[in-house]
Protein backbone atom coordinates (compact mmCIF):
# COMPACT_ATOMS: atom_id res chain seq x y z
CA UNK A 1 0.00 0.00 0.00
CA UNK A 2 1.66 3.25 -1.18
CA UNK A 3 0.90 6.21 1.12
CA UNK A 4 0.99 9.76 -0.24
CA UNK A 5 0.35 12.70 2.10
CA UNK A 6 0.28 16.46 1.63
CA UNK A 7 0.78 16.56 -2.14
CA UNK A 8 -0.20 20.26 -2.10
CA UNK A 9 -0.71 20.82 -5.84
CA UNK A 10 2.88 19.85 -6.67
CA UNK A 11 2.57 17.78 -9.85
CA UNK A 12 6.32 17.42 -10.48
CA UNK A 13 6.77 15.94 -6.99
CA UNK A 14 3.73 13.66 -7.36
CA UNK A 15 4.89 12.28 -10.71
CA UNK A 16 8.41 11.63 -9.38
CA UNK A 17 6.93 9.75 -6.41
CA UNK A 18 4.63 7.69 -8.64
CA UNK A 19 7.58 6.71 -10.85
CA UNK A 20 9.61 5.67 -7.82
CA UNK A 21 6.70 3.76 -6.27
CA UNK A 22 6.13 1.84 -9.51
CA UNK A 23 9.71 0.62 -9.23
CA UNK A 24 9.12 -0.54 -5.65
CA UNK A 25 5.84 -2.34 -6.28
CA UNK A 26 2.60 -1.87 -4.35
CA UNK A 27 -0.95 -3.20 -4.55
CA UNK A 28 -2.91 -0.01 -3.80
CA UNK A 29 -2.23 3.70 -3.48
CA UNK A 30 -3.93 6.01 -0.98
CA UNK A 31 -3.62 9.75 -0.26
CA UNK A 32 -3.85 11.37 3.16
CA UNK A 33 -5.33 14.73 2.21
CA UNK A 34 -4.08 18.24 1.47
CA UNK A 35 -4.08 17.28 -2.17
CA UNK A 36 -4.18 21.03 -2.97
CA UNK A 37 -3.04 24.31 -1.41
CA UNK A 38 0.40 26.03 -1.63
CA UNK A 39 1.38 24.66 -5.08
CA UNK A 40 0.62 25.60 -8.69
CA UNK A 41 -1.12 22.51 -10.15
CA UNK A 42 -4.37 21.70 -8.28
CA UNK A 43 -6.36 20.54 -11.32
CA UNK A 44 -3.52 18.42 -12.73
CA UNK A 45 -2.85 16.72 -9.38
CA UNK A 46 -6.52 15.84 -8.94
CA UNK A 47 -6.70 14.60 -12.55
CA UNK A 48 -3.74 12.31 -11.89
CA UNK A 49 -5.32 10.90 -8.71
CA UNK A 50 -8.62 10.28 -10.51
CA UNK A 51 -6.85 8.68 -13.49
CA UNK A 52 -4.90 6.31 -11.20
CA UNK A 53 -7.88 5.73 -8.86
CA UNK A 54 -6.01 6.96 -5.82
CA UNK A 55 -8.63 7.36 -3.09
CA UNK A 56 -8.11 9.04 0.26
CA UNK A 57 -9.28 11.53 2.86
CA UNK A 58 -9.74 15.30 2.91
CA UNK A 59 -7.36 17.75 4.58
CA UNK A 60 -7.87 21.27 5.91
CA UNK A 61 -6.48 22.85 2.72
CA UNK A 62 -8.81 20.74 0.56
CA UNK A 63 -11.77 21.94 2.63
CA UNK A 64 -10.71 25.57 2.34
CA UNK A 65 -10.16 25.41 -1.43
CA UNK A 66 -13.56 23.77 -1.85
CA UNK A 67 -15.28 26.50 0.17
CA UNK A 68 -16.13 24.21 3.11
CA UNK A 69 -13.82 25.81 5.70
CA UNK A 70 -13.24 29.48 6.57
CA UNK A 71 -9.88 30.97 5.54
CA UNK A 72 -9.38 32.86 8.81
CA UNK A 73 -8.21 29.67 10.53
CA UNK A 74 -5.10 29.57 8.31
CA UNK A 75 -1.85 31.50 8.48
CA UNK A 76 -1.90 34.52 6.12
CA UNK A 77 0.33 32.80 3.51
CA UNK A 78 -1.72 29.59 3.57
CA UNK A 79 -4.94 31.59 3.33
CA UNK A 80 -3.58 33.51 0.34
CA UNK A 81 -2.62 30.26 -1.42
CA UNK A 82 -6.04 28.77 -0.64
CA UNK A 83 -7.75 31.87 -2.05
CA UNK A 84 -5.70 31.45 -5.24
CA UNK A 85 -6.56 27.72 -5.38
CA UNK A 86 -10.29 28.33 -4.86
CA UNK A 87 -10.26 30.75 -7.82
CA UNK A 88 -8.04 28.59 -10.05
CA UNK A 89 -9.69 25.17 -9.81
CA UNK A 90 -12.13 23.66 -12.28
CA UNK A 91 -15.64 22.69 -11.10
CA UNK A 92 -14.69 18.97 -11.29
CA UNK A 93 -11.74 19.58 -8.95
CA UNK A 94 -13.99 21.38 -6.48
CA UNK A 95 -16.43 18.44 -6.58
CA UNK A 96 -13.60 15.96 -6.00
CA UNK A 97 -12.37 17.94 -2.98
CA UNK A 98 -15.89 18.30 -1.58
CA UNK A 99 -16.41 14.56 -1.82
CA UNK A 100 -13.36 13.54 0.23
CA UNK A 101 -14.32 11.75 3.49
CA UNK A 102 -12.69 12.72 6.81
CA UNK A 103 -11.75 9.14 7.61
CA UNK A 104 -11.44 5.85 5.74
CA UNK A 105 -11.14 2.37 7.16
CA UNK A 106 -9.60 -0.13 4.73
CA UNK A 107 -9.14 -3.56 6.29
CA UNK A 108 -6.59 -3.23 9.10
CA UNK A 109 -5.71 0.38 8.20
CA UNK A 110 -7.43 3.65 9.17
CA UNK A 111 -6.62 6.76 7.12
CA UNK A 112 -7.01 10.34 8.37
CA UNK A 113 -5.37 13.70 7.61
CA UNK A 114 -4.80 15.05 11.15
CA UNK A 115 -5.71 12.77 14.07
CA UNK A 116 -8.67 10.52 14.81
CA UNK A 117 -9.77 12.98 17.53
CA UNK A 118 -9.71 15.95 15.13
CA UNK A 119 -9.36 14.73 11.53
CA UNK A 120 -8.85 18.09 9.82
CA UNK A 121 -6.90 20.26 12.24
CA UNK A 122 -5.00 18.42 14.98
CA UNK A 123 -1.27 17.75 14.49
CA UNK A 124 -0.05 14.30 15.48
CA UNK A 125 2.96 15.91 17.11
CA UNK A 126 2.52 15.76 20.88
CA UNK A 127 2.36 12.85 23.29
CA UNK A 128 -1.17 13.91 24.32
CA UNK A 129 -2.42 14.05 20.72
CA UNK A 130 -0.92 10.61 20.06
CA UNK A 131 -2.58 9.13 23.15
CA UNK A 132 -6.00 10.54 22.21
CA UNK A 133 -5.51 9.22 18.67
CA UNK A 134 -4.66 5.69 19.83
CA UNK A 135 -7.69 5.63 22.14
CA UNK A 136 -9.87 6.00 19.05
CA UNK A 137 -7.87 3.70 16.75
CA UNK A 138 -9.66 0.37 16.17
CA UNK A 139 -7.33 -1.08 13.53
CA UNK A 140 -3.73 -2.24 13.94
CA UNK A 141 -2.41 0.46 11.59
CA UNK A 142 -3.35 4.08 11.09
CA UNK A 143 -1.90 6.61 8.69
CA UNK A 144 -1.96 10.40 9.12
CA UNK A 145 -0.48 13.41 7.33
CA UNK A 146 -0.75 17.14 8.16
CA UNK A 147 2.61 17.67 9.93
CA UNK A 148 4.69 17.03 6.76
CA UNK A 149 7.16 15.06 8.93
CA UNK A 150 7.81 11.32 8.44
CA UNK A 151 7.17 9.41 11.66
CA UNK A 152 6.27 6.01 13.10
CA UNK A 153 4.68 5.82 16.54
CA UNK A 154 3.83 2.51 18.18
CA UNK A 155 1.62 1.97 21.19
CA UNK A 156 2.87 -1.31 22.68
CA UNK A 157 0.31 -3.63 24.27
CA UNK A 158 -0.29 -3.15 27.99
CA UNK A 159 0.05 0.63 28.02
CA UNK A 160 3.84 0.87 27.87
CA UNK A 161 5.43 4.13 26.71
CA UNK A 162 4.98 5.12 23.06
CA UNK A 163 7.78 4.00 20.80
CA UNK A 164 8.84 6.70 18.28
CA UNK A 165 10.96 6.42 15.12
CA UNK A 166 11.90 9.35 12.84
CA UNK A 167 12.67 7.66 9.50
CA UNK A 168 14.90 8.86 6.69
CA UNK A 169 15.29 7.79 3.05
CA UNK A 170 15.35 3.98 2.80
CA UNK A 171 14.49 3.48 6.48
CA UNK A 172 12.41 0.32 6.88
CA UNK A 173 10.54 0.09 10.16
CA UNK A 174 9.20 -3.23 11.45
CA UNK A 175 7.15 -2.28 14.49
CA UNK A 176 6.58 -4.94 17.11
CA UNK A 177 3.16 -5.85 18.49
CA UNK A 178 0.64 -3.16 19.32
CA UNK A 179 -0.97 -0.37 17.36
CA UNK A 180 0.97 1.78 14.97
CA UNK A 181 0.49 5.24 13.45
CA UNK A 182 2.50 6.14 10.35
CA UNK A 183 3.12 9.55 8.82
CA UNK A 184 4.66 9.04 5.36
CA UNK A 185 5.99 12.63 5.19
CA UNK A 186 4.94 15.10 2.50
CA UNK A 187 5.05 14.63 -1.26
CA UNK A 188 4.71 18.29 -2.20
CA UNK A 189 6.10 20.36 0.67
CA UNK A 190 8.51 18.48 3.00
CA UNK A 191 9.35 20.25 6.27
CA UNK A 192 12.06 18.07 7.83
CA UNK A 193 14.97 19.79 6.09
CA UNK A 194 15.15 17.26 3.24
CA UNK A 195 13.61 18.93 0.17
CA UNK A 196 13.08 15.64 -1.68
CA UNK A 197 9.49 14.40 -2.03
CA UNK A 198 8.57 11.92 0.70
CA UNK A 199 6.24 8.92 0.79
CA UNK A 200 6.04 5.43 2.26
CA UNK A 201 5.00 1.91 1.34
CA UNK A 202 3.24 -0.19 3.96
CA UNK A 203 3.48 -3.96 3.59
CA UNK A 204 0.75 -5.25 5.89
CA UNK A 205 1.62 -8.92 5.35
CA UNK A 206 5.26 -8.39 6.28
CA UNK A 207 4.34 -5.93 9.05
CA UNK A 208 6.79 -3.30 7.81
CA UNK A 209 6.81 0.17 6.35
CA UNK A 210 9.48 1.52 3.99
CA UNK A 211 10.16 5.26 3.75
CA UNK A 212 11.41 6.80 0.52
CA UNK A 213 12.65 10.23 -0.60
CA UNK A 214 12.65 11.15 -4.27
CA UNK A 215 14.37 13.98 -6.12
CA UNK A 216 12.13 16.02 -8.38
CA UNK A 217 12.39 19.19 -10.45
CA UNK A 218 11.91 21.71 -7.64
CA UNK A 219 12.78 24.64 -9.93
CA UNK A 220 9.98 23.69 -12.35
CA UNK A 221 7.39 23.82 -9.55
CA UNK A 222 8.87 27.09 -8.28
CA UNK A 223 8.66 28.66 -11.75
CA UNK A 224 5.02 27.69 -12.06
CA UNK A 225 4.32 29.13 -8.60
CA UNK A 226 6.01 32.40 -9.55
CA UNK A 227 3.99 32.58 -12.78
CA UNK A 228 0.81 32.08 -10.72
CA UNK A 229 2.00 34.84 -8.33
CA UNK A 230 1.81 32.58 -5.32
CA UNK A 231 3.55 34.01 -2.20
CA UNK A 232 7.37 34.19 -2.36
CA UNK A 233 8.08 32.49 0.99
CA UNK A 234 6.06 29.44 -0.14
CA UNK A 235 8.16 29.25 -3.33
CA UNK A 236 11.43 29.62 -1.49
CA UNK A 237 10.74 27.07 1.25
CA UNK A 238 10.64 24.19 -1.28
CA UNK A 239 14.40 24.61 -1.80
CA UNK A 240 15.08 24.17 1.90
CA UNK A 241 12.44 21.54 2.67
CA UNK A 242 11.25 23.58 5.68
**In which order are the strands placed within the sheet that holds 109-112?**
103-106, 109-112, 141-143, 179-183, 151-155, 163-165
Return the residue of 34, 43, 62, 122 that touches Zn ion, per CB under 5 A.
Answer: 34
For position 6 contacting Zn ion by CB under 5 A, the verdict is yes
- 34 or 122, CB closer to Zn ion? 34
* Residue 111 CB partners (closer than 8 Å, separation 6+): 30, 32, 56, 57, 103, 104, 105, 142, 143, 144
CB of 206 to Zn ion, least distance (A): 29
Helix, coil or strand: residue 152: strand
- Residue 135 CA to residue 70 CA, distance in Å, equals 29
- 167 or 190, CB closer to Zn ion? 190
- 59 or 167, CB closer to Zn ion? 59
Total residues at interface with Zn ion (CB under 5 A):
2
CB of 33 to Zn ion, least distance (A): 8
- 6 or 122, CB closer to Zn ion? 6
Candidate segments 20-28, 30-38, 63-71, 203-211, binder of Zn ion by CB under 5 A = 30-38
Which segments within 107-170 are labelled E, that is strand? 109-112, 141-143, 151-155, 163-165
- Residue 221 CA to residue 94 CA, distance in Å, equals 22
- Taking CB positions, which residue lies at the least distance from Zn ion? 34
CB of 105 to Zn ion, least distance (A): 22
- 110 or 147, CB closer to Zn ion? 147
For position 62 contacting Zn ion by CB under 5 A, the verdict is no
CB of 78 to Zn ion, least distance (A): 9
- Residue 198 CA to residue 17 CA, distance in Å, equals 8
Instruction: Return residues touching Zn ion (CB under 5 A).
Output: 6, 34
Amino acid sequence: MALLADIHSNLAALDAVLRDANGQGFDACWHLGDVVGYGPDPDQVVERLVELRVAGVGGNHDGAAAGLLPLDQFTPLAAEANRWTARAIAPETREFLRGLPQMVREGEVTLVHGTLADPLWEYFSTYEAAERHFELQETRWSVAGHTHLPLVVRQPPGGAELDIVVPEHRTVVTPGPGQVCINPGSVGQPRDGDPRAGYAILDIGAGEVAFRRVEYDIAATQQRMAAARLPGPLIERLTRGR
